[in-house]
Amino acid sequence: MIAARPEIPATKRQDEPATPMEAMPFDALIVPESWKTGGTQLDRIDSILRLAEPLLGVDRSRGDRAYIRRQPGGRLFITKDPRDTISFPIGHPREGRPRYAWAASPDGSERGTLAEEPPHA
C-alpha cells in the first residue's frame, strides 16, 4: 500500500521539508535551522514562516504573525507571541521548567502545547 503524501501549504517549494498540516494548531514549534532556504535573510525567514504559520493557526488577514527565536543547537523556536519562552520565567512558581509539552515529529520538528498553569491561590 502506498502511503498518502501529507498535505502541505500551497506556497511550499519542492526544496523545503515536508510538514503535514494539522487540524488543530499548536502553541509553539521547534524546527531545525537547516530548514531555512533562500538567498536573502528575508527569504530565509519567509521560508520558515510559510511552514510554521499554518501549524500555529496564524491568520495574517487578522493581523496575526509568527515570531522566530534562534536556540542553541541549530534550532528555531516559533510562536504567535514574541514574549513566549520555552521555560517558565524567573519568579514563576514553575521557574525553569518547560512551558510546553513537546511531541517530536519524524521530520525533525517538535510541536508544543502550552502546559497547564497551576491555579493561583
pLDDT (mean) for 91-101: 94
**Predicted structure pTM score:** 0.76
pLDDT (mean) for 12-30: 62
Question: In 1-121, where do the E strands start and end?
Answer: 28-32, 67-71, 75-79, 100-104, 110-114
**DSSP-derived pairing of the beta strands 28-32 and 67-71:** unpaired
